[in-house]
Structure 1
Amino acid sequence: MEAIKDALRALRKRHLLEEGAHGPAISALSKPMISQGSEWKEKTEKLEIELQQCYKAQSRLSDQLVIEVAESRTSKASLQDKELLINDLEKDLSQTREECTRLQEELEEKTKTLDLLITENKEVRSQLEEMTNRAQKAESENKMLIDRWMLQKMQDAERLNEANALYEEMLAKLKANGLENLARQ
């Protein structure tokens, strides 16, 4: 009985050793299938993404085409309107030419008037310049007076500060004398 148990143990041990020996071969054979499956999966995902991008591009191009067609229709209608407008403008042009000759005559008259106004303007400018110079002189005199007045006020303030300092000193001395007198009593 003991021999049978030993034989069973030996068989189990041998079986485990054989399984262990074949384990690396089995795992090596299964890895390419797994890695090949993941490669196929990655390729599939990339192709799906590319297909989605193609659909988006097609959608954008379709939208753009619709916009382009609408714009071309609008442009065509605008072109027809502009042709009508050109005809109207040609009529207006002939009227404008007539008015232009009339206005040119008026311009010559107004040019003469302008020459007179320019000479008057020069005279007024010289008067303005003279008045500006007077105003600047008065301003500088006012500034000097203000500066003198400010200096006088600063000196008055300094004198007042000195008088306040003397007064505070005298008060302090009086208080000190008063405290000494109280201390003596």
Structure 2
Amino acid sequence: DSLTDFTVSFLVYFVLTSRLVNETGDSWYWFLGSFALLSCLLHCSYFVFYLVRYTSTVGTYLYNRVDESVSEEDTKAYKKGELSALVYFLQRCHIFLYGWQDKSIEYFDCISKELAFGKNNGKLPDIDWYMDKTFLTWVSPLCLCTNNMVLVLFSLIDQIVWGFLLIIIVGNIYLLGLQIKKILKVRKEFRSQA
């Protein structure tokens, strides 16, 4: 599923960017399209990261793992023949395409928790940090579908550049704003309890 999402997203951004370059002769659009795709992928990883953390904590959806890396159990299952070569290959492809995104968002989350909790970060359970349903609601527009709909709408009015800029500028400001709001909210709650 996620490999298909990546492939389709890459192709859509590639075709739209290629069209812009061909119509204008300006190769700067390769940078714009690439940065829009990168922003889209990071928005999606951000959304999925917090959704999976929440569902893992409450135990409602156990198919996705917080860390999608190939585990020792996966390797053992593959060697024993309990995991097919195709599934093992697809898992490795997933890590190749998404591993850097997952690690980037995990690092961003770690820094955010340090800013929110300060020196007490390592002593606190993650449960308070990942259980904010309101935050999850606000994060939802950063999913892949929203970014794709932006491209569809701006393609229909032949304004692809504006669609790319909306994803890059508004999407990234929105993401940073959400994270800053989360940090400040948790910091305020934490200090009032101390």
- TM-score between both structures, scaled by the size of structure 1: 0.20
For CA contacts below 8 A with separation 6 or more, give which structure has more relative contact order: 2
Structure index of larger Rg = 1
Q: More helix per residue: 1 or 2?
A: 1
TM-score, with length taken from structure 2: 0.19
